[in-house]
Structure 1
Amino acid sequence: MDCCHYHFAGEGCDSAFTVDTSRITFGRGCLNEVGDRARALGMKRVALFSDERLARLPHFQKMHQSLLAAGLDVAVYTAVRIEPTDQSFLEAARFAAETRPDGYVSLGGGSVIDTCKAANLYATHPADFLAYVNAPVGEGRPVPGPLKPHIACPTTSGTGSEVTGITICDLLSLQAKTGIASPALRPTEALIDPDCTASLPSEVVAASGLDVLSHALESYTARPYVRRPAPARPSLRPMSQGANPWSDLGCREALRLMGLYLERGVADAQDHEAREQLMWAATLAGIAFGNAGVHAPHGMAYAVAGLVRDFRPSGYPQDEPMVPHGMSVIVNAPAVFRYTAEVSPERHLEAARCLGAEARGASPGDAGEVLAGKLIQIMRAVGMPNGLSGVGYSEADVTALTEGAYPQQRLLQNAPREMSRPVLTQLFRQALSYW
C-alpha cells in the first residue's frame, strides 16, 4: 500500500504538514441552503457569479430565490469566460469593486469559481494583475489580508476549485495559463449538490472527471512533504506541500471511485449513482490536491491549453478554439507517469490498482507501464483524443510547448523527479500519441 519511509523526513526538510479546506456541505438539494448560509456569514449585499448558460437553468433560479428569500440584496455577474483570461478576471474585479458586496456566491464550474475568487481578491486588495500571480511569471506577492466570505457551489465534478486556494487563467500576453495560489483564496464554504451534474454532456463529464483522476494521481505521487525544504516560518508553509498522510487518504478513495464510476457517468446521464459518486470523488481529490499539490501533467497542461490553434471539442461551445482543462492534463499523463514511476514504483502500482488495473505479479520495474496502460484504457473508453496529436499538435510544436510549460515551476517542482527543459521536451514528444 504505502512505504513508511516515503514520509520519513530528510535533513533540512519539513517534518509537519498542514490540512486546510473549506467548510463543506454535500448532498442532493443542498443548493437550497445558500440563502441561510450567506446570511449566517453576515452577508447583506451579495455578488452572485455564474455564466450566461447556467443563468438560464433551474439551479441558478433556485439559488437566486434562496438568496432573495433570506432578505439579501443580490447583484448578478454572468460575463464569465469558459476559459478565463487575465482580462476577464480584471473585468470581473471591476464589477466587484463597483458593486462593493460584503460577500460572494459562485455557481458554476472551475471557470466561474476561479473568476469569483479573482474578483474578490482584486476588489478587496487592489494591485497590478501580476502582483499576486505565481512566480516566475508574476511577483508571487502574498495576499495582504483576508477576503470577503465566499460560498462556492460547483456544477461540474471536476476542478475542486470550491475547496482550494488556487485560481487559474490564460495570460494573454504569454499565450499560457498561470495562476494565483493563496490560502486566502479558498472559499469559506462549499455547497456541493450532485443534482447539478445531471444535465452535463458526456464530453464534459469525461474531461472534468479526468481532471479529478489527475488531481488524485498527481497528489499521490508528488514529492513527499518531508522532501520539501522546511519553511523559514511555519506560516510560510506552501499549500503545495507534497504528498502527505492526509492527502493520501483522499487520493486513494478518489482513484477507486473514478475507476468504478467514470465510464458509467460518461455513458449514462441518468445513472445518478455514478454522477453522485463522481462528485464526491471530485471533492475528495480537491481537498487532497489543495493540501498536497499537483505536478507535471498539470504544469504541461497550461501550455497545451494556452497554445491551442483550432481544436474545438464536442460538448463545449464552438465559438473559439479550446482544449478543456481535464483533456489538456490527461493527454500528458501516461508519458509523465512512465517517467516518474522509477522514484516510487509501489505508489504507482497502488494507484493503478485503485483504478482497477490488474497488477498481480507486476514488479517495480513494471509500475510505469501498468499505470500508463490503465490511463490509456480509460482515455479510450471515455472518448479522449489520442494524445497531443489529437488536439492539433505535432513534433514541430514540442519546443514551444516546452517553453510554455517550463515557467510553471510551482507545479513542476512538486514532481517526484526533475522536470528540466530536456525532460519536458522528451515527455511532450512521448505524449504526441499513445495508440
Structure 2
Amino acid sequence: MTEKDRKTYKKMYEDTICSPYISYIERIKTLKAIKTAIQGNIELVSEALSSDLNKHKNEAYFSEIGLVLKELSLTISQLKKWMKPKRAKTPILLFGGSSKLIPQAMGIALIISPWNYPFYLSLMPIISAIAAGNRVILKPSESSPETSYLLTNLFNNTVDSRYIYVMSSDVDSTKEMLMNKFDIVFFTGSQRVGSLVRQQLCSTNTAIILELGGKCPVIIDQNLNIDQSVEKVFNSKVINAGQTCVAPDYVAIHKDKIDIFIDKFNKLSSEFEKHIDEYPKIINKKHFDRLLNLAKNTELTVKDTKILPKAIKTTFNSELMVDEIFGPLLPVVSYSEISEVLDFIKSNGEPLATYVFTKSKNFENVIVERVRTGAVVTNEIMLQLANYNLPFGGVGSSGWGRSHGYQGFLAFSNVVSCYSRWGFGTKLNTHPYTDKKINLIKKFLK
C-alpha cells in the first residue's frame, strides 16, 4: 500500500465514525459525477479495454460501458424510492404500535474487482455501494493495468475522494488493506482467491459478498433443432473469448446429436477466423498456456495470444470437466438420460448460471427444480445480465449475495427493523401471569 492509500483509508474511517451515512443529496451528486466522468471518457475506456483484452469498441460498449451507464440512470432515478422507509405489518398482539424497515449504510466498503470485465465489474458494485450511502475503496486488478490506471485517474481526480478512492492494485497492497476494518467486502473473482479473502475476514465478522464462478452448463433437450442453440453458444464464447464468469463452460447434449453440434460449432469458428484481429485475447501467458495444456490433443486456431472457440468432444470424467474453463474451449459431453447431467452438476459445485435449450416447459421445470444455481436461462445465453430487474449472484461454491439494481442497493444496506408504540399498549406478556392472559396469547400466536 502507498502512503496515500493508508491516509485515505484513515480519513474515510474517521469520517464514517463522525457521519456514518452519506446524505441523499451527496449520493445523487456522486452518482451523477461518475456518470459525467464516464460519458466524457468513453473513448479512453474503450482504449484501455482494447489494450488489456483487445476488446473491440462495440463489444466494450455493449458488454461494459453501456450496462454501467444504464445502471447509473436506473439508480439515480429510483434512489429516493429505494431509500424511503418501508412500512411493515404489525400483528394484532402488538396493537398500538407501528413497524417499518429503514435501509441504512453499512459504512466503508472494499470492492475487489477482476480483470475479465475490469470496468463493468468495478463500477457495478461501486454504484450500489454509493447508492446505499457507503464510502468505497476500490482495488482493481493488477492483470488489467490500463483499465486500472484509467479507473484511478477517473475517480481519484474527478470524483469526491471522501466517498470513492481507487487504491494500488498489487496483491501485497490487497493483503495489507484487508487487515483494516471494513463493514462490507465485495469480491469478484476465482473460487480459490475468494476462499482466501473469506478466510482472512472470518475473524473480523466482516460482511462479505462473493461473486465467483463455476462450470456453467448448457443443457440441450434432445427434441430441439441444433441450429437454435449452436449459434448462440458460439457467440457467447466469442464475447471476451469466453473469459466470462457466466459463459457456457460445457454443453451436455443427447448422444444422437453430439457430433452434429460439434461440427456446426467448429464450422462457425472456421468462418469467424477472418475476424480474428478484432477478437479478444487471452489475458496473459499463464492463462494462455493453461488453455493450450487443456486442449493438448486438439487442433486449435491460434494467433499470438488468441485462441478461437473450439468444441471438443469429451466425457464427464475427463480433465476438461474438472475446473472452470474460463476461455474459448467448449467441452461437449453426451447423455442418454437427463439424470446423468443432473447428477454431474450436483456433484461438481453449484454453477453461477445454467442454460437450457428446449421447447418443453416440463424440461425447463425439471432443471429449475433440481439444479442449485444462481440463474436459469432458457433458449438464450448470458442475457440475464442485461435485465437490471434480475439480481445477479451465485449460490454455494459459485458465491453468495446478490447485486445489480435494487438488490444491489439492499446488498450494501443494513435494513434496520423499527417498532414504535405511542400511547397505551398490551400487558399480556407481563407479570402477574394468568390463565386469561395465556389463553389470549395462545389465540393470537397460532
Pairwise TM-score range, normalised by the shorter structure: under 0.3
Provide TM-score, normalisation by structure 2: 0.27
Q: Which has the higher contact order (CA 8 A, sep 6+)?
A: 2
Computing the radius of gyration from Cα coordinates, the structure with the larger value is 2
TM-score by length of 1: 0.27
